[in-house]
A = this chain, B = another copy of it.
């Protein structure tokens, strides 16, 4: 039961109310060090009664720890910060930080100036960093001082553990589905070239078509619907007999469908279309989009947790991506 107070209670208040010293109160509250069961009870009761909440700033100051988790997104322009995908990562990270009294800040890492990362690393307010859309040069710019308190959603390095969806597995699952349903001339609209983790999908595609003896039909994409629209046209002009298009992201796939429809191509009748990510609205599109799942929330949660808990983690954790078969393919 918490009682209203003009001024939020401090540890000193709690200690006094419990009749112990500040140190003892601190040990009990922080759960560190020993204390007699009696003292423990009295402090807990007092804290409860006063509605005591530890001051995160003071705690961080004395511990030399930071007080916020930085989400740093690599991109060509700061517009990447408006991306719904980034928003989901930030929200998940914020949820993880909350019980620790840790907030999340959002930063843009210019693709051309990855050293901007150093500034973050030198900010003592930053207790850890979650990298998004990581590139090789960003990874190279990670200072040693960050070791153990940085994680990457995307590719990783020896010092930066990676958390990501298993693009390869998801891609393979989708392509197998396409193949199993009779498609033999499958084109792919990829992610941006500079985004290394997108390369895993492309590799899976190449391997699959090679093994099946199918033609390679690659078109560069950038995850946007607009690019999907254009890519659909491009594909049908270069390879008119294409019977399936796999896009590395759902928004792009939806754009592909729109582009195809505009040309009078039937989906999935003439051309099957599949995406990747299973965004909330994939099932609401017409036709409902066949895609592969992408547990963004779980991935971001794991990454944030890893940096906040300073727990040793494997160099790379891949979250499974499963086929979500609907109507478009």
Q: Tell me whether A220 is interfacial, beta carbon within 8 Å.
A: no
Q: Smallest Cβ distance from A128 to chain B, in angstroms? A: 11
Identical copies of this chain, number: 2
Q: Tell me whether A105 is interfacial, beta carbon within 8 Å.
A: yes
CA distance A87 to B124 in the complex (A): 26
> Across the interface, do B284 and A51 meet the contact criterion of CB distance under 8 Å?
no
Residue numbers in B under 8 Å from A137 (CB-CB): none
Q: Tell me whether A294 is interfacial, beta carbon within 8 Å.
A: no
Q: Tell me whether A211 is interfacial, beta carbon within 8 Å.
A: no
Q: Out of B2, B57, B225, which one reaches A118, CB within 8 Å?
A: B2
Q: Tell me whether A123 is interfacial, beta carbon within 8 Å.
A: yes
Q: Which of A30-57 contact B (CB under 8 A)?
A: 51, 53-57
Q: Which of A84-137 contact B (CB under 8 A)?
A: 84, 86-88, 90-91, 94-95, 97-98, 101-107, 118-119, 122-125
Q: Out of B71, B102, B285, which one reaches A105, CB within 8 Å?
A: B102
* Most B CB within 10 A of own CB, among A103, A119, A123, A280: A103
CA distance A225 to B69 in the complex (A): 33
Residue numbers in B under 8 Å from A91 (CB-CB): 81-82, 86-87, 90-91, 106
Residue numbers in B under 8 Å from A122 (CB-CB): 2, 5, 8-9, 51, 53
Report the stretch among A157-165, A171-179, A251-259 that lies at the interface: A251-259
Report the stretch among A59-67, A194-202, A235-243 that lies at the interface: A59-67
CA distance A286 to B267 in the complex (A): 12
Q: Smallest Cβ distance from A106 to chain B, in angstroms? A: 4
CA distance A86 to B94 in the complex (A): 11
Q: Smallest Cβ distance from A99 to chain B, in angstroms? A: 9
Closest 6 CB pairs of A and B: A103-B103, A68-B103, A56-B125, A286-B286, A87-B91, A94-B106
Name 24 interchain pairs, CB-CB below 8 A, sorted by A: A2-B119, A4-B143, A53-B124, A53-B125, A56-B124, A57-B58, A57-B61, A57-B124, A67-B67, A67-B125, A82-B297, A91-B106, A101-B105, A103-B103, A103-B105, A104-B105, A225-B280, A225-B284, A251-B280, A251-B281, A254-B284, A258-B284, A279-B281, A286-B286
